[in-house]
């Protein structure tokens, strides 16, 4: 008998997921607001782009270094307390920044410390948020739940910078950071309303015997020894390596040299954002997609061809269509891939697997951006053609991979199909 596809909005009927969705969205609104406000603050204090870059690097280093530790901590203590601690910590850190700024006591050294603390908190917060979803949602609803999470994220990417710009202009930086602190506090309050499911005896036993390094290594081995997970993470890492630089550095250069400058750049980003939103919602409305590995390889081929066409595009309408297609492909596949990895992971490994996934998504970003800058000296078309070729090769190599072709059935640590997730009563 065919099952009725779950509604995109059905996860919101669960109290815990509503709390997670509202808390995460408020937290991400604060993050987007914070980035713009911090940029204005640094430029106001020093008028130095190099200093701004160094502060962002200081935030990125602990985020990357502690990401795998964050996943291990999530598996040891469960996601909810980790979310509560680190969302509250971010609120305190940004509140401290606001207080120092209002008293004109904020120096560059303090900004470096604040940036490092924010990056450290991110390394624990994001694996905990992602690992929370499969603990409160049935497997059939995971695509819808992840689509809702990512939709909220995409909306905050528009609303956060817009609100920051308006409020900084009207009220000044101290009041803007005070409002920013309120966003983070709101997120922490909603996340605190989540109820924590009890840890199983297996997880409790593991938490009491594994030391932290052993726990991290166990997570890495778990991801590496599962051929489908390993291949999926390699594809995801390659997608980010090949595209992050061209889509940030390359598109800016493309609009400057071939199109109409900053205005057209905004249109390109809007087209990609709209495509991503539509792809995300489309993935959330789908049910029964049993071969996410094939979707990943298909995405690599689609993005490879699209990147090459982007390098050859000369007109704004053609470029807008290509950017929208790329955004839709990325949005659709990110939902499906995350939902599948959540469902495949054993319960005691979900935090570590999510941290490995996020590590694969960010570790190559600086290398991609640096190489994109170097490739621009060779030529704009060459930058996109090389990026596209890397993706096409990735798709062709992995499309014949047996694990990728068969990927799609969730299993537990014993290698058998997982039973339905235990739910707390609503």
CA distance linking residue 63 with residue 58, whole number of Å: 9
Q: What is the pLDDT of residue 206?
A: 52
Mean pLDDT of all residues in 382-410 = 76
The model carries a pTM of 0.75
CATH topology identical between 10-198 and 215-406: yes
Only one residue has tokens 């200081």, namely 58
Q: What is the pLDDT of residue 402?
A: 67
Domain boundaries, the chain: 10-198, 215-406
pLDDT digit string (tens) for 322-344? 989 988 888 888 888 788 787 77
Supply the DSSP symbol for 261.
Answer: T
Collapsing DSSP to helix, strand or coil, 4 comes out as coil
Q: What is the pLDDT of residue 360?
A: 80
pLDDT digit string (tens) for 138-172? 877 888 888 888 888 888 877 887 888 888 888 88
The percentage of residues in the chain with a pLDDT greater than 90, rounded to a whole number, is: 16
Mean pLDDT of all residues in 5-9 = 67
pLDDT digit string (tens) for 221-242? 888 888 778 878 888 888 888 8
Integer CA distances (angstroms), 193 to 18, 28, 186, 354, in order? 10, 17, 11, 22
CA distance linking residue 24 with residue 334, whole number of Å: 18
Collapsing DSSP to helix, strand or coil, 160 comes out as helix
Backbone φ, ψ for residue 417 (5° rounding): -65, 140
Integer CA distances (angstroms), 333 to 17, 72, 131, 228, 394, in order? 22, 26, 18, 16, 16
Cα 115 to chain centroid, rounded: 19
Grade residue 204 by pLDDT with cuts at 50, 70 and 90: very low
62-66, 260-264, 413-417: least confident range: 413-417
Query: Which of the two residues, 414 and 71, has the higher pLDDT score?
Result: 71
The CA-based angle 400-405-406, given to 5 degrees, is: 145
Burial category of 399 from C-beta neighbours within 10 Å (exposed 0-12, middle 13-18, buried 19 and up): middle
Q: What is the DSSP string of 296-360?
A: HHHHHHHHHHHHHHHHH--SHHHHHHHHHHHHHHHHHHHHHHHHHHHHHS-GGGHHHHHHHHHHH
What's the CATH code, domain 215-406?
1.20.1250.20
| CATH code 3.90.1150.10 for 10-198 | no
133-147, 160-174, 262-276, 287-301: least confident range: 287-301
């Amino acid at each position: 008998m065919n099952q009725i596809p779950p509604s995109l909005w059905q996860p919101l009927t669960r109290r815990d997921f509503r709390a997670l969705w509202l808390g995460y969205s408020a937290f991400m609104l604060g993050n987007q607001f914070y980035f713009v406000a911090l940029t204005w603050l640094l430029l106001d204090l020093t008028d130095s782009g190099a200093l701004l870059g160094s502060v962002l690097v200081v935030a990125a280093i602990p985020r990357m270094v502690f990401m795998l530790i964050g996943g291990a901590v999530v598996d040891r203590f469960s996601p909810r307390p980790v979310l509560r601690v680190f969302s509250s910590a971010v609120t305190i850190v940004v509140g401290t920044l606001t207080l120092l700024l209002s008293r004109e006591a904020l120096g560059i050294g303090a900004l470096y410390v604040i940036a490092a603390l924010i990056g450290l908190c991110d390394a624990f917060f994001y694996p905990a948020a992602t690992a929370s979803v499969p603990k409160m949602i049935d497997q059939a609803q995971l695509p819808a739940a992840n689509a809702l999470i990512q939709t909220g994220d995409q909306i905050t990417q528009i609303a956060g910078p817009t609100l920051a710009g308006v409020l900084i202009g009207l009220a000044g930086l101290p009041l803007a950071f005070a409002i920013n602190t309120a966003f983070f506090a709101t997120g922490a309050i909603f996340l605190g309303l989540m109820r924590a499911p009890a840890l199983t005896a297996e997880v409790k036993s593991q938490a009491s015997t594994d030391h932290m390094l052993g726990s991290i290594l166990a997570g890495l081995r778990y991801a590496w020894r599962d051929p489908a997970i390993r291949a999926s993470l390699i594809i995801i890492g390659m997608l980010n390596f090949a595209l992050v630089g061209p889509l940030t550095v390359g598109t800016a250069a493309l609009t400057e040299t071939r199109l109409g400058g900053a205005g057209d750049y905004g249109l390109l980003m809007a087209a990609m954002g709209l495509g991503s939103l539509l792809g995300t919602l489309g993935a959330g409305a789908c049910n029964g997609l049993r071969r996410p590995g094939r979707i990943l390889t298909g995405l690599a081929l689609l993005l490879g061809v699209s990147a090459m066409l982007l390098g050859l595009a000369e007109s704004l309408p053609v470029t807008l269509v290509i950017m929208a297609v790329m955004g839709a492909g990325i949005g659709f596949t990110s939902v499906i891939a995350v939902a599948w990895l959540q469902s495949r992971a054993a319960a005691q490994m979900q935090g570590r697997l999510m941290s490995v996934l996020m590590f694969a998504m960010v570790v190559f970003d600086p290398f991609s951006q640096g190489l994109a800058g170097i490739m621009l000296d060779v030529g704009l078309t060459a930058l996109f053609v090389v990026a596209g070729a890397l993706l096409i090769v990735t798709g062709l190599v992995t499309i014949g991979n047996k694990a990728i072709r068969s990927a799609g059935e969730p299993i537990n640590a014993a290698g058998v199909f997982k039973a339905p997730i235990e739910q707390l009563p609503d």
